[in-house]
Structure 1
Amino acid sequence: MAAAHKNKTVATLLALVGGGLGLHRFYLRGAVDRLGLMHVCSLPITGILVYAVKPHPFYMMLPLLVSFIAGFVEALVIGLTPDEKWDAKHNPHSGRQSQSNWVLVLLLVVTMLVAAIVLIGTMARLTDVLYTGGAYG
């Protein structure tokens, strides 16, 4: 019996949409990925602890924003991996070959746009909150 084939485009889409929660990790490694589960469980706790130190609502969202930025980087890494390396790592026994198409390229462009907007917005808001106490918003 052949193993399940892991699609690179689906993994990139999951990293783009839910990379901050590790959805791509659960797709690639299964629902019992210990590191992914620890990350998902630690996000609310980290947000509450950070909010306790710095009582501004932005600080409570900061761990999630950083996690999503890391998810965007992971989406780029997954999407830019050559098909041969992808199959060697994630599909050694599936019996199928991966073939990237234009949808993957479109996902990579959207990932770059969203990642740039989120990163620049996070840096701008963090600078505002740190230096003015949130006076500009």
Structure 2
Amino acid sequence: MAAYKSKTLATWVALLVGSLGLHRFYLYGFKDRLGWFYCIPTFLGLHGIQRVQDYGLDDHLSWALIPLLGLMVAQAMLAAILYGLTPDERWDARHNPGQPVHATRWAPVLGVITALLIGAGVLMATIAFSGQRYFEYQVEEAKKISQ
């Protein structure tokens, strides 16, 4: 019999470290290829933040890398929301087949609320950062052409 997979724990793992794919490792094991893929864009986004600290906001490579981190955090929040809102019967049928249904309480709901707050903020910030950098770049190019 497979180990019990808690909906509450999966929700909170996705919320706290989902951008690294740890929620997928919890649910599907370390052989999950998609879980390993999560690390690449997350670390590239963190590298973009480091580049901004080293080279300033004019570093064009960081403009491309930082949104990757925002998107990975946003997708982790989406995973937390999906896990937390999955009905207990469906969760146990998918992840705990053959075991009795375990009723969850408020912990997954609190995780969903937190994920909504964080995910919305991160997604809006990612869109704003990308848009601002794009339009500033366009203004710089227009100035170069007009000179």
Q: Do the two structures share a fold, i.e. TM-score over 0.5?
A: yes
Q: Contact 2:85–2:109 at 8 Å: present in 1 too?
A: no
Change in Cα spacing, 1:45 to 1:132, as seen in structure 2 (3 Å) is closer
The aligned residue for residue 57 of structure 1 is 62
The aligned residue for residue 70 of structure 1 is 75
Identity %: 36
Gaps of 5+ in 1: none
What per-residue deviation string (whole Å, max 9, x for no partner) do you get for residues 5-38 of structure 1?
0000110011111121111100000011112113
The aligned residue for residue 117 of structure 1 is 121
* Alignment: residue pair count: 128
The aligned residue for residue 19 of structure 2 is 20
Change in Cα spacing, 1:72 to 1:97, as seen in structure 2 (3 Å) is same
Tell me which amino acid in the other structure corresponds to 1:3: A
Are 1:132 and 2:131 matched, yes or no?
no
Q: Structure 1 residue 39: deviation in Å?
A: 3.4
Q: Specify the structure having the higher radius of gyration (Cα).
A: 2
Change in Cα spacing, 1:68 to 1:45, as seen in structure 2 (3 Å) is closer
Gaps of 5+ in 2: 52-58, 138-147
Q: Contact 1:47–1:62 at 8 Å: present in 2 too?
A: no
Q: How large is the Cα RMSD of the aligned pairs?
A: 2.5
The aligned residue for residue 106 of structure 2 is 102
Q: What TM-score, normalized by structure 1, do the two folds share? A: 0.81
